[in-house]
């Protein structure tokens, strides 16, 4: 996809107020916290929400993406572009491991947890909706992989990091 295509694509994306998004996300998280018995359950539920969101996003953009990723490591670019289109900002860093089996996406200015400080829920993956979106894209594009939020600014980390891992070829289980 050429530069012109990328720009045209981003202009075609409808915008929503960041405050509206963050406030809605925060209330969604509060609801999950109130209805869950463990941090792991909250993380899992937020990822499930992300998966549904990812399905919708992929359907919406499928017609507009001309160059689908053919190899796992190419999702570094594909998901980087999708993040830019949907968040209006770019990942601070995207790293592909030497064996091309792992991709780490980092945002030092994560728009999801901006302004949020959580000190009493260690292990909470506040921005795990992104992991769910990644999982949906992987599954619907036929890749066996999964993702998780590795670090979170809301919990005191310097950056938010989402890690995407491709399963070994022999692995049959999700």
| Residue span 66-105 as binding mask against Zn ion, x where in contact by CB under 5 A, dash where not | ----------------------------------------
Residue with tokens 């990723």: 69
Instruction: Give me the residue label for tokens 């949907």.
Output: 86
Among 103, 112, 138, 145, binds Zn ion (CB under 5 A): 112
Alpha helices, DSSP H, located in the chain: 3-12, 18-34, 39-62, 75-87, 129-140
How many residues at the interface with Zn ion, by CB under 5 A? 5
* Distance in angstroms (rounded) separating the CA atoms of residues 21 and 144: 30
Stretch that binds Zn ion, among 1-9, 63-71, 97-105, 109-117 (CB under 5 A): 109-117
Residue 129 interacts with Zn ion (CB under 5 A): yes or no: no
Determine which residue in the list 46, 127, 129, 133 makes contact with Zn ion, applying CB under 5 A.
Answer: 127
By beta-carbon proximity to Zn ion, the closer residue of 112 and 145 is 112
CA distances for 85 relative to 31, 57, 80, 173, angstroms: 28, 11, 9, 32
**Please, what is the minimum distance in Å from the beta carbon of residue 4 to Zn ion?**
31
Decide: is 46 part of the binding site for Zn ion (CB under 5 A).
Answer: no
Nearer to Zn ion among residue 39 and residue 140 (C-beta):
39
Q: Is 127 helix (H, G, I), strand (E, B) or coil?
A: coil
Distance CA 104, CA 67 (A): 21
Shorter beta-carbon distance to Zn ion: residue 140 or 159: 159
- Name the pairing type of β-strands 145-151 and 102-107: unpaired
Positions in the binding site for Zn ion (CB under 5 A): 110, 112-113, 127, 160
């Amino acid at each position: 996809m050429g530069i012109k295509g990328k720009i045209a694509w981003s202009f075609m994306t409808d915008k929503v107020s960041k405050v509206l998004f963050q406030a809605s996300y925060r209330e969604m998280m509060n609801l999950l916290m109130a209805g869950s018995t463990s941090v792991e359950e909250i993380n899992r539920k937020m990822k499930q929400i992300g998966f549904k969101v990812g399905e919708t996003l992929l359907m919406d953009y499928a017609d507009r993406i001309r160059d689908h990723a053919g190899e796992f490591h190419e999702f570094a670019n594909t998901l980087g572009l999708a993040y830019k289109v949907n968040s209006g900002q770019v990942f601070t860093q995207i790293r592909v491991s030497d064996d091309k089996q792992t991709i780490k996406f980092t945002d030092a200015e994560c728009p999801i947890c901006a302004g949020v400080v959580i000190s009493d829920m260690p292990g909470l993956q506040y921005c795990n909706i992104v992991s769910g979106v990644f999982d949906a894209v992987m599954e619907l594009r036929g890749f066996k992989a999964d993702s998780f939020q590795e670090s979170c600014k809301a919990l005191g980390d310097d950056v938010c990091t989402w890690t995407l891992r491709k399963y070994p070829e022999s692995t049959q289980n999700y």
